[in-house]
Amino acid sequence: MIAASIAGCSDYNKVLKSTDLDYKYQRALGYLDSNKCYAALPILEEVVSLTRGTEQAKDVQFYYAETHRCVGDYYLARYYFKMFTKTFPNDVRSEQAQFEAAICSYKLSPKAALDQTETTAAIEEFQLFMDRYPGSALRDSSQQLINFLHDKLEVKSFETASLYHKTGQYKSAVIALKNALKEFPDSPFREEIQWLILDSHFKYAQQSTERRKMERYNDTIEAFLTFVARFPEGEHMIEAQRTYDQCTSAVESLQSNQTFE
C-alpha cells in the first residue's frame, strides 16, 4: 500500500505485473533515484532472485542493499552490503559497500544511556574498513565517526559507574569508577570520576562497622592524595579538602579510642 501510494497505483501495478525483467529493473532504479524507496524494494527483491548467478547480479545486489538503507532498515542494509563485499570483492564498489555497512552500524548505535553493543560493532566495522582500505578517501570520515562513537562509550562508562554512587552502592561505585578510568584514561570525565572515587570511599567508610572504619578512612585519605596529585586546582578541591579533614579527625579519634581500650 505504501509503495502504491507513492508511485501511483495503476502505474505501479503495471510494473509489478510486468514479465519484462529489464523493464522492472529500470523502473525500480527510477523509483530509487526518486527516493521512492518503498516502491523500489519489492521490485528489486524479485529482480534479485531472478538474476542470481548472472552478470547482472552484482549491480542488482548493490542497489538492493542501497534500497534497504533508503527505507531505514539498517540491519538488512548492513547485511546486504557486507554480502556484496564478500561475494564481489574485486568490484569497484566493494570499498563503498564496506563503508556503507559501517555507516549502517553507526545508524544503529543508540543514545549513550542504552546498551552500546551496536556502538562497539560500528567501531569495529569502521576499523575493518580502514584496515582493508588504508588509502581510502573515506578514511578521515571513518576516523571522525570512530571518535564520535568512542566518546559515546566514554559517556556510557561514566554514567554507568556514577549510577552506583548515586544509588548509594559505594563499594561497587569505587570498583566501577576505577574500571572506567582504566578503560578510558583520557576521559573528559576523569576529574569527576576521581572525585566520585574519593567520595565513595568516604561514604563507604562512614557506613562501615567500627572494626573496619580505620582501614576505610585510610583508603579515603589515599584517594584524596591521588585526587590532589592529579587535580590540584580541581573544582572539587574544597570538598575534597573537607573530606580529608573529616577523615584525619576520624582516624585520630579511632586511634585514641584504641589507646584507651
**Residue with C-alpha cell 587535580?**
231
pLDDT(260) > 50: no
**Per-residue pLDDT tens for 232-241?**
999 999 999 9
Confidence bin at 259 (pLDDT 50/70/90):
low
Torsion of CA 244, 247, 253, 255, to 10 degrees: -100
**Spatial distance between the Cα atoms of 216 and 250, rounded to a whole number of angstroms:** 11
- Are 85 and 125 a contacting pair, CB within 8 Å? no
Question: Mean of the per-residue pLDDT values for the chain?
Answer: 93
pLDDT in the model for residue 8: 58
Give pTM, 2 decimals. Answer: 0.82
Query: Going from the N-terminus, what domains does the chain have, and what CATH number goes with each?
Result: 177-261 (1.20.58)
Confidence bin at 4 (pLDDT 50/70/90):
very low
pLDDT in the model for residue 213: 93
Confidence bin at 25 (pLDDT 50/70/90):
very high
Residue type, 220: T
- Are 200 and 222 a contacting pair, CB within 8 Å? no
And the C-alpha cell for 120? 562497539
pLDDT in the model for residue 10: 81
The CA-atom distances, in angstroms, between 218 and each of 33, 172, 224, 248 are: 68, 18, 10, 8
Rounded mean pLDDT of 164-174?
97
